[in-house]
Structure formats: structure tokens, C-alpha cells
């Protein structure tokens, strides 16, 4: 059956991939993002596309009219450097979720999805490397990432109470470090997999043997490939589960280990220049998927190496296409 979807944050990395999936399923898709359309990672002429600031309630009312379902992927975010240095800007994203929820009630939206983050988890549970996977209950007592994490946790609660008080069906996913092609790989908002792929590609092409690494490289994370993220997201949205669920990988690695994997893909060994004064986030973080396996029978299918191979190739092509067009590397996205 064909439905009318709104994807908020459609100009972003996950949002663009999600729009493509919904179109492939035959749905009508309305896309909104604060960025001018020419700066969206992906956009499709068959969609109705708006460059809208969804912190505005009036804009939310306009864009949710006659919409069946909403995926809210919109927020101001980036890698650890951006999050740590823009706490107030990150927290202002709470207005997007609040006003989209209010507009959903006004316009009788059937179901609403909120993209949360592993940054909601209690920091005291992430003080060591190679920790046990974070379970959903580990978000409380609350001690999330300052700024961005607090916004996500508060917005989760908003969804919960709109369900309890107003019977609006909501679904919430806590994403763990999503990466893949058609994402940011330079400019300050990129995450570790893309940043390290870029650094090693450029080191190889410039015959360099050293790359800069934020922190000591021993901090650990799990990273989820975009296709796994989309499968989990759409399966959760179609389920009857209203709990906040992890959508992430359980394959935990240190940054040093990930560099070694990318170096193997590139066939180029590098030394690491550790920058101990740079933002590095919590010491260890990974997902426990027990609950989502139980509730909706979802798990990841891409290994980190498989996903990095695909991501590396895409970033390599972007850098070399840019070089061939301009004779120097410039940012493509």
C-alpha cells in the first residue's frame, strides 16, 4: 500500500538513504531539511523537497499536513569535535522534535519515529575500554553526553509521554555510530570511520607514512554500516514496539584497530601521531542487541571490515574525482 511519508532531515546522511528506500517501496515522500537543497547529500526530483527550519512550529504544521507517517532524522550534529564544541546548538534540536510532535497531533499523523543516539547513555558506564555492551536500561540514572546527549534523552521522553498522554504511536531508535557511502568525510562534522579513511587515502597518495589521531587511539566504539541501520530502522517502525531500542553493532574495536583495518584495505601502513588535546569522548561504547533481537528479531549483517571496504572505495572515488576536476582536493560533500 502506498503511504505519504515525511522525512525530516532528509538532506542528511541517514535521511537521504532512507528517502531512497521509501521511494523504492513506492511511497510518496516529502523531504525537509534546513540546508539549501543543493547541499543535501541526496535529493530526488520525484519527492516534494523543502528547505525548511523545523524548529519553527508553523513550518512543522505546514509540512505535516496530510502526512501518514513521520521519520524525524533532523538534528544539528557531527563528529565528536563538533558535539563537544557546539553544545547549545545541539540542544536547540529539541525544538524540532517538540514541534513535530505537536504538529503530528494537530494533523492526525498515524506514527512518528525519533532518531536518538547512544550518546544518551550514562557516562560512568563508559569509562573503560572494551566495555560490556550498553543495554537500554543503562540510560538511567541519567548522565548522558553533555549537550547532544541530553537533547536526545529529553526528546525520547517527549515521545514516550506523547504516546502515554495523547496516544500518538512513537518509535525510538538509539543509533550507534552509523557510517557508509554518501556521508560527510571532511570539514569537521565527519565521524571517525570516514575521517580515518580520508586521512589514509591522502597519506597514501602523498607518500606520507603518518596520520593524526585524536586521543591515544585506545578508545573503543562499535560502528554500524548504513544498510544495517536502515533495515533496523524500518523494521522497528513497522513493529508494535514503543520502547527505545539500540540499533547498533556489537563488534567493538579500538580506534587503533580500526586504523589497522583501513590500512589493510588501502595496502598502506601508517604511523599514528596521537593528539591528546583533541576531543575524544567516552573511553568505551558499544551496543548490546539482546532486546532488539527479542522484540523485532533484528541484528547486523555487515562486518566492520566489509562496511569499511565499501566506505573507503566511495571516499577514494570522491577525492580522486575532485582532483581530476580541479587539480586539487576540495570537499565534495
pLDDT for 330 equals 35
Q: What is the pLDDT of residues 34-85, one digit of tens each?
A: 999 999 999 999 999 999 999 999 999 999 999 999 999 999 877 778 888 8
* 8 A C-beta contact, residue 162 and residue 170: yes
Sorting pLDDT into bands at 50, 70 and 90, what band is 321? confident
pLDDT for 325 equals 63
User: 162 to each of 127, 155, 169, 259, 313, how far by Cα in Å?
Assistant: 33, 11, 8, 43, 43
Catalytic, out of 71, 121, 148, 302: 148
Q: In this model, does residue 328 exceed pLDDT 50?
A: no
What proportion of the chain, given as a percentage, has pLDDT over 70? Answer: 97
pLDDT for 39 equals 94
Within its chain, how far is the Cα of 280 from the centroid?
A: 18
Q: What is the mean pLDDT of residues 199-214?
A: 97
Q: In this model, does residue 200 exceed pLDDT 70?
A: yes
Q: What is the mean pLDDT of residues 243-266?
A: 98
Q: What is the mean pLDDT of residues 112-140?
A: 97
pLDDT for 287 equals 98
What proportion of the chain, given as a percentage, has pLDDT over 90? Answer: 90
pLDDT for 31 equals 98
Burial string for 93-115 (b: 16+ CB within 10 Å, else e) reads bbbbbbbbbbbbeebebebbbbb
Tell me whether residue 148 is one of the annotated catalytic residues. Answer: yes
Radius of gyration of the CA atoms of the chain, in A: 19
CATH of domain 192-221+251-286+302-324: 3.90.25.10
Q: What is the DSSP string of 37-97?
A: GGG-S---TTSEEEE--TTSHHHHHHHTTT-SEEEE------SHHHHHH-HHHHHTTHHHH
Sorting pLDDT into bands at 50, 70 and 90, what band is 331? very low
Q: In this model, does residue 327 exceed pLDDT 50?
A: no
Q: What is the mean pLDDT of residues 237-247?
A: 98
Q: In this model, does residue 17 exceed pLDDT 80?
A: yes
SS (H, E, C) 92-120: CCHHHHHHHHHHHHHCCCCEEEEEEEHHH
Q: What is the pTM of this model?
A: 0.94
Q: What is the mean pLDDT of residues 130-152?
A: 97
Query: For the packed helices 192-205 and 255-266, what is the interaxial angle rounded to 10 degrees?
Result: 40
Average pLDDT over the chain reads 95
pLDDT for 1 equals 87
CATH of 4-179+225-247, one of 3.30.530.20, 3.30.1540.10, 3.40.50.2000, 3.40.50.720: 3.40.50.720
* 8 A C-beta contact, residue 285 and residue 131: yes
Sorting pLDDT into bands at 50, 70 and 90, what band is 324? low
**What backbone phi and psi angles, to 5 degrees, belong to 40?**
-70, 145
Q: In this model, does residue 258 exceed pLDDT 70?
A: yes
Residues in contact with 13: Cβ distance below 8 Å, sequence separation at least 6, in sequence order = 41, 178, 180, 182, 183, 184, 226
Residues in contact with 327: Cβ distance below 8 Å, sequence separation at least 6, in sequence order = none
The structural domains of the chain, with segments of one domain joined by +, span 4-179+225-247, 192-221+251-286+302-324
Amino acid at each position: 500500500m502506498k503511504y505519504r511519508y515525511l522525512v525530516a532531515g532528509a538532506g542528511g546522511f541517514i535521511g537521504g538513504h532512507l528517502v531512497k528506500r521509501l521511494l523504492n517501496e513506492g511511497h510518496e515522500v516529502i523531504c525537509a531539511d534546513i540546508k539549501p537543497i543543493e547541499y543535501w547529500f541526496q535529493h530526488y526530483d520525484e519527492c516534494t523537497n523543502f528547505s525548511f527550519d523545523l524548529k519553527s512550529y508553523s513550518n512543522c504544521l505546514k509540512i505535516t499536513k496530510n502526512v501518514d507517517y513521520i521519520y524525524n532524522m533532523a538534528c544539528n550534529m557531527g563528529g565528536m569535535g563538533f558535539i563537544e564544541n557546539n553544545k547549545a546548538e545541539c540542544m536547540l534540536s529539541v525544538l524540532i522534535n517538540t514541534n513535530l510532535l505537536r504538529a503530528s497531533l494537530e494533523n492526525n499523523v498515524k506514527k512518528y519515529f525519533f532518531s536518538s543516539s547512544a550518546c544518551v547513555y550514562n557516562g560512568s558506564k563508559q569509562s573503560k575500554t572494551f566495555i560490556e555492551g550498553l543495554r537500554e536500561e543503562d540510560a538511567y540514572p541519567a548522565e548522558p553526553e553533555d549537550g547532544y546527549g541530553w537533547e536526545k534523552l529529553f526528546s525520547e521522553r517527549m515521545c514516550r509521554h506523547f504516546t502515554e498522554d495523547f496516544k500518538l504511536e512513537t518509535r525510538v531508535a538509539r543509533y550507534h555510530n552509523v557510517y557508509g557511502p554518501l556521508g560527510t568525510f571532511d570539514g569537521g562534522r565527519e565521524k571517525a570511520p570516514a575521517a580515518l579513511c580520508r586521512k589514509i587515502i591522502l597519506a597514501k597518495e602523498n607518500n606520507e607514512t603518518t596520520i593524526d589521531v585524536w586521543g591515544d587511539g585506545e578508545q573503543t566504539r562499535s560502528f554500524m554500516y548504513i544498510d544495517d541501520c536502515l533495515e533496523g530502522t524500518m523494521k522497528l517502525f513497522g513493529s508494535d514496539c514503543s520502547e527505545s531500542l539500540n540499533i547498533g553493532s556489537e563488534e567493538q574495536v579500538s580506534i587503533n584497530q580500526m586504523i589497522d583495518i583501513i590500512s589493510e584495505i588501502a595496502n598502506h601502513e601508517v604511523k599514528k601521531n596521537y593528539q591528546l588535546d583533541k576531543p575524544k569522548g567516552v573511553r568505551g561504547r558499544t551496543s548490546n542487541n539482546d532486546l532488539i533481537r527479542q522484540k523485532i528479531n533484528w541484528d547486523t549483517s555487515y562486518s566492520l571490515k566489509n562496511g569499511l571496504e565499501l566506505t573507503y572505495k566511495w571516499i577514494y572515488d570522491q577525492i580522486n574525482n575532485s582532483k581530476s576536476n580541479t587539480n586539487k582536493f576540495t570537499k565534495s560533500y
